[in-house]
Amino acid sequence: MRALFPGSFDPATHGHLDVARRAAGMFDEVVMCVLTNPTKTGRLRLAERLALLADLTSELANVTVDSSAGRLLVDYCHGADIGVIVRGLRTLGDLEHELPMAQMNRHLSGIETLFVPTNPAQAYISSTLIATTAQR
């Protein structure tokens, strides 16, 4: 089975890589799909994010990198024969944000979402925090 691990990955973190590694152990293939988040100001160009993810996941034979813009995740999944969406959770706030989307995706398409709790050692790290710190 193929799984989709979507995100802005702006920038990718050790937490993202941890979730990708764990998902790679559960699925035949994991597609890390870089999306544009309209609520975030992009820091890295799409090409930079794709290259960074490709480099970070190069040792994971069943992880590929792609991008998508302007369409629903479930439409991407159907077009790519993907049956599961993987989402990492750091906090209860992440769950509150992700759960309604997972429920709507299932309602619209039947595609399930697998929530993967992050490693506690990395739970405080977010792309936004890294980008904010890097600007100093």
Residue with tokens 């790679």: 24
- The 8-class DSSP code of residue 42 comes to -
Q: Which is the catalytic residue, given 78, 90, 106, 107?
A: 90
71 is catalytic: no
Is 45 part of the annotated catalytic residue set?
no
Q: Which of 21, 45, 97, 127 is catalytic?
A: 127
- Per the annotation, the verdict on 90 as an active-site residue is yes
Q: Is 58 an active-site residue?
A: no
Catalytic-labelled residue, pool 40, 45, 71, 107: 40
User: Any known ligand binding at 50?
Assistant: no
29 is in an annotated binding site: no
Tokens at 30, concatenated: 């994991």
Flag whether 15 is marked binding.
Answer: no
3-state secondary structure of 76: helix
The Cα diameter of the chain in Å comes to 44
90 annotated as ligand-binding: yes
Distance (Å, rounded) from C-alpha 121 to C-alpha 113? 24
84-109 burial code (b ≥16 CB/10 A, e <16): bbbbbbbeeebeeebeeebeebeeeb
Any binding-site annotation on 17? no
Find out whether 76 is annotated in a ligand binding site.
Answer: no
Does 58 carry a binding-site annotation? Answer: no
Q: Residue ranges for the binding site for ATP? A: 8-9, 16, 88-90, 98, 122-128
Q: Catalytic amino acids?
A: 16, 40, 90, 127
User: Which residues belong to the annotated binding site for substrate?
Assistant: 8, 40, 73, 87
